[in-house]
Amino acid sequence: MRTSGRGLGRRGIARSPSPHTGVSPLSGRVAVVTGAARGVGAAVATALSEAGARVALLGREEERLREAAAGLPTPTLCVEADVTDPAALDAAAREVETRLGPADVVVANAGIAVSGPFRDTEADLWQRVVDVNLTGAANTARAFLPHLTRTRGYFLQVASTASFGSAPMMSAYCASKAGAESFAQSLRCELEPDGIAVGVAYLHWTGTDMIGGIDDNPVLRALRAHQPRFARRVQTPARVAGLLTDGIVRRAPRVHAPPWLRWCQALRPVFPALVAHISRRELRCRSGAEFAAGTGAMGAGGRADWTAHRSAPTPRPGGQAD
């Protein structure tokens, strides 16, 4: 852990940099990023730190968290925590406040995915995706709402084009991301009277380990092959992090990465029929065995979470662990 300094008084984040001083509106603020050990989470932590924020990096892989925090220009805090564990998040929230101050920004980024046919996916793994991506987002909001209430802060839920794509072979991921989007939109209405802003970030293909070997995965390859050329482009995590940081500064209700995704919002009603048409054709052309070959947790982060989850002690009646 690297920490220094005392908490500053907070009245919410300015919507734009000062034209007179050029000082970042995030300077001295406290930001919390879940799923910060790698990928988009680590990149967002870097971008926020470079914008002057004190950053708390939360995630499952402590060593990776420390690597992500190493060399960042502002005080940081690394907390190993499972977003599906409310007690761990409550403890993390207390530690963040003690060491950095109350959070002005919370980025609910933690997420995992599983690909492959629903019938071939372990029930516990399918449930784990929903627990991390949806319930974990709610747990994160609940733990840090006392902070955001005091700071009149900003909560950013990282969603995906999977929120409205409903792609086959990705049922847990699509269902959980659609749920996370809906959760954030509902939360926005509830928290607005308290001066808390809530945003939803829509991400498309991003070059994290979740889609590593994209052309070797029959599910991802089929999904991507039927998209327009510009939509197949894989963005870097740094590019996405920059767009998300801009959205955080603006306290934006929606952040699109890449920006052209904003034009897709008006077309959302047609996407289910379009995806279904393409999917039926694709499924007729390929064997079930080919799709089943790609079944499992996606990416190093997803596999690390699944391994840690399976190796965790099983609670016994009465709250004790074996």
Catalytic residues: 173
Distances from the Cα of 97 to the Cα of 55, 151, 175, 184, 267, angstroms: 11, 12, 33, 23, 42
**In the chain, where do the E strands start and end?**
30-34, 54-59, 76-80, 105-108, 114-115, 154-158, 197-203, 254-257, 296-297
Interatomic CA distance for residues 1 and 5, integer angstroms: 14
Helix, strand or coil for residue 34? strand
Contact 120, 169 (CB under 8 A): no
Distances from the Cα of 128 to the Cα of 21, 107, 162, 170, 297, angstroms: 47, 20, 17, 13, 10
| Sign, Cα dihedral of 54, 187, 244, 91 | positive
Helix (H) and strand (E) counts in the chain? 13, 9
Instruction: Retrieve residue 92's tokens.
Output: 């993390």
As a 3-state breakdown, the chain gives helix, strand, coil percent values, each rounded to 5, of 55, 15, 35
CA 94 to chain centre: 21
Length of the chain: 322
User: Rg (Cα) of the chain, in Å, rounded?
Assistant: 20
